[in-house]
Every structure is written in C-alpha cells, then in structure tokens.
Amino acid sequence: MGLVTPFGIGIQRYWDSVIAGKSAISRIRHFDPSGLPCQVAGYLPDGELYGPDGNLDAEPRFTYFALVAARMASKDVRWLDHVSLERAGVFMGTSGERISLGDFARVAYETRGENGEVSSKEFARRWRETIKADTISRFLPQYAAARVVREFGILGPVTTFNTACTSSAHAIGEAMRAVRRGDVDLAVAGGTECIVSHVGLHIFCPLGVLSKRNEPPEKASRPFDLERDGFVLSEGAGMLILEDLESAKERGVPIMAELAGYGTSCDAYRITDEAPDGRGAVLAMRRALEDAAVVPDDIDYVNAHGTSTPMNDRVETVAIKTVFGKRAYQIPVSSVKSMLGHSISAAGAIELITCVLALRDQILPPTINCEFPDPDCDLDYVPNHARPARLRVALSNSFGFGGHNDCLVVTRFEG
C-alpha cells in the first residue's frame, strides 16, 4: 500500500496522526481564498513535495501523488521481477487536474479587441504559443494511469474511473474482479486527487456543500455532528497492489489483508443528493456483503463515507440501520474525513487502506469533532478518540455525486 495525504507522505505517518485524532485541515495559503465562503482545506505542504522523488517535479500534482503512492506500494512486494508485465494492469480513480484559471485569464486579457471582447482567433493563436500540447494532455484524467504504466512497463489492461467520490473505490473493486476473472495476475489500483485550487473551490462553493466554518480550521469537518455544515476539500492518493492469494504466497510477499467483497450501484436520485431512504447505499452494501460471503453479523467495523454534510451523514446512518438492523447500534462506524477532509477521487482508496491498518493493529480510528449529538445520527461513531477493538471484517463505504455507490469488504488475513 502507498499513501499521500495532507499529513504527508507515507503510511505510518498517516496512521499515527489518525490514531492520535489530529486534524490535517488548515487555512488555504497556496492561493488567496478571499471572498470564498470556504477558506480551509486539507493540503499537502509544499515542503513535502519533490524530496526523494524530485525527478517527478515536472509532473502535474495529481500524477505526482499517484506515482509516489504506486512506488511506495510496489516497494516491498518485488513484483516487477516475478510477474509478467502482460499480466499486470492499472486501475485508477481520478478526475485529473484542472489547468490554472490564471493561464486562461492572462491569455484572454491579452487578446481583447478594441471593444473589449476576446477574439476567438487571436485567443487560439496565443493559447497554442503559450501552452504546449503535451502540457494539456498531462492534465487529462487518464494521464495518471498512463504514467504509472510507463513507470513500471505494464502491458496489460489500463482503466481510469471518474465517478466522483467513489472513483478509487470503484477502481479497486473492478481491479479485484479482474484478478478474480484471471484477466490479470496483479493490479496496481487506487486513486489520486488534486482539487484544492481556485477551480476546485469555485466548482463546489456554489453547490453549497462546503463548510463555512473557517475558524478554527480543524473544527470545520465534523461528520455526524449536529453542527456540521458541509465537507472540506482535500487532496492525496492511495494505491494498493492486488494479487491472487496463491501467487502472493508463492512469491513470499507480505499479505496485508484479503479484499473479500465489492458491491456497486447507482440510484441517481439527484446529482448531489442521495435518496432519503439510502436505497443505493443499501444495495451497494448488501452486494458487497454477499460478494464477500459474509452476513451483517460478521462486520466488526464500518468506515463511513461520512462527508460532514447534513444530508450525507443522515442518509448513510439510515442506510446502515437498514442493512444491519438492530445490530447497527453495536457496530463502530467512523469517518477519517473528520481529520483529512474529502479527497474526492482518492477518498475510497485512502479509506480502504485505513480499514487494512485498523485490522492490522486492532484499533478503531476516531471521528473527531463529535461534540453535539444529532438525534438523526445515533450510532457509535467512535467519537473523538481511537480505541482498541477485536476486528476481523471491515466494510468501507464510498458514495458519490451522480448517485454512485461503491462498497468494499476487507478481512484480516489469517493465513
């Protein structure tokens, strides 16, 4: 596994921070957010970039994240010398990266006519001179997966998933299916996101889904809390190496966990809202449990989508109750978005890795900022502090704009 989060680069650094209940949310400082209702985010400090991987500094930020995480995930499994490159694949969840509005604005300003209107012909000419074709192509969503392919020389199937907040969970689930079907022997799977920008904020602020709690920043993301008012944008990447059990055993590589089940659905109730009864989430969770050949009583922990919006947290709570019945009140449910914010395309991968670490260390990550109980959110959200627990099976939920729902079941490997 490999991680890049606002806490920095690396698995243990992330995990130590999460278990300590720290927040990675801070005031936006890499551009001026003045005038925006949301002025906080989860952002990887620039000092963290281009260290040992300085040869990647020419890559777009979202691709840099993906490559660093993929290199980290590959480091300990020695697969390059033992797996046919024709039998390896890449499954990437991402929305790509949006070229700075500054480039567009500058060229538009410089190509105005006497009447103040932009000349399309002159704009096109100056744009071609200013922005190289390969620069534009490197910001397309599929570039990150292609760059990982080039990094390792992979020759098998390569797919990019752009299904909003479920993108990386979707990618991991489909990668698991590809391994099961025998399409590939090994999959590099996960997601990457770089959305904390002028463009990203201007996309989400008008939707009214971002928190306006700018002071103090670390209190802005508060899933399941009565005073939650929206999510906080974040960035990062999570990548995993998926492989058939017998192949991994034969090569003697460390096995972190078993990815046991995947369930997907799309209810498309509204672009930004789930159906109030959580029907799509319910279907995806039930399909994941069925695929993993487990029953609701087997689940020891649910890593919630838990975005901190009033609608999502209420509906997810309803959906969990529908799937688990009375036992829902006995299952710990937590959201690391309370500490990280919402990394959109990368969230599912980061949260699946969180589940694997919880199973490894037998500890539940907390939901911080749970200060004011919400009568509509009345489950055990592991409030404010991590706690030890006996964990064998975990469910990771991802729900996204457009009605996408993707859930993954992961079990502790006992072999």
Q: Tell me what pLDDT residue 285 has.
A: 98
DSSP string, 351-405: HHHHHHHHHHHTEEPPBTT--SBBTTB-S---BSS-EE---SEEEEEEEETTTEE
Q: Tell me what pLDDT residue 55 has.
A: 58
Residue range 253-310, pLDDT digits in tens: 999 999 999 999 999 887 777 889 999 999 999 999 999 999 999 999 999 999 999 9
Contact predicate 396/355, CB 8 Å: yes
Q: Tell me what pLDDT residue 31 has.
A: 87
Q: Tell me what pLDDT residue 199 has.
A: 81
List Cα–Cα distances, 189 to 38, 60, 316, in angstroms. 32, 19, 26
Q: Tell me what pLDDT residue 103 has.
A: 66
C-alpha span between 73 and 252 (Å, rounded) = 16
Please identify which of the residues 38, 205, 305, 404 carries the catalytic annotation.
305
C-alpha span between 356 and 249 (Å, rounded) = 18
Q: Domain ranges for the chain, please list them.
A: 2-98+139-411, 101-137
Q: Tell me what pLDDT residue 220 has.
A: 98
Q: Tell me what pLDDT residue 165 has.
A: 96
Interstrand relation of 236-243 and 158-161 (parallel, antiparallel or unpaired): unpaired
Residues in the chain: 415
Q: Tell me what pLDDT residue 109 has.
A: 78
Nearest by Cα to 93 from 175, 207, 8: 175
Is 305 in the active site? yes
Q: Tell me what pLDDT residue 77 has.
A: 85
Q: What is the gyration radius of the CA atoms in the chain, in angstroms?
A: 21
Structure-block tokens of residue 340: 């990280």
For residue 104, give the amino acid letter.
F
Residue range 68-126, pLDDT digits in tens: 999 999 997 888 888 999 999 999 999 988 665 566 667 777 888 878 888 888 888 88
C-alpha span between 409 and 139 (Å, rounded) = 32
Please identify which of the residues 165, 194, 205, 377 carries the catalytic annotation.
165
Chain CA centroid to CA 324, Å: 25
> Is residue 247 helix, strand or coil?
helix
Q: Tell me what pLDDT residue 80 has.
A: 87
C-alpha span between 146 and 13 (Å, rounded) = 28
Is 355 in the active site? no
C-alpha span between 157 and 279 (Å, rounded) = 32
Is 30 in the active site? no
At a CB cut-off of 8 Å and minimum separation 6, what does 43 contact?
Answer: 6, 26, 28, 29, 30, 196, 234, 235
Looking at domain 2-98+139-411, its CATH superfamily turns out to be Thiolase/Chalcone synthase (3.40.47.10)
Contact predicate 197/348, CB 8 Å: no
Please identify which of the residues 342, 377, 404, 407 carries the catalytic annotation.
342
Which helix (H) or strand (E) covers residue 40, if one does? Answer: strand 40-42
User: Residue 235 burial by CB count (10 A; 0-12/13-18/19+): exposed, middle or buried?
Assistant: buried
Q: Tell me what pLDDT residue 89 has.
A: 98
Q: Which residues of the chain have pLDDT under 70?
A: 46-57, 98-105, 131-137
> Is residue 139 helix, strand or coil?
coil
Q: Tell me what pLDDT residue 131 has.
A: 66
Which helix (H) or strand (E) covers residue 242, if one does? Answer: strand 236-243
Q: Tell me what pLDDT residue 286 has.
A: 98
pTM here is 0.93
Contact predicate 399/165, CB 8 Å: yes
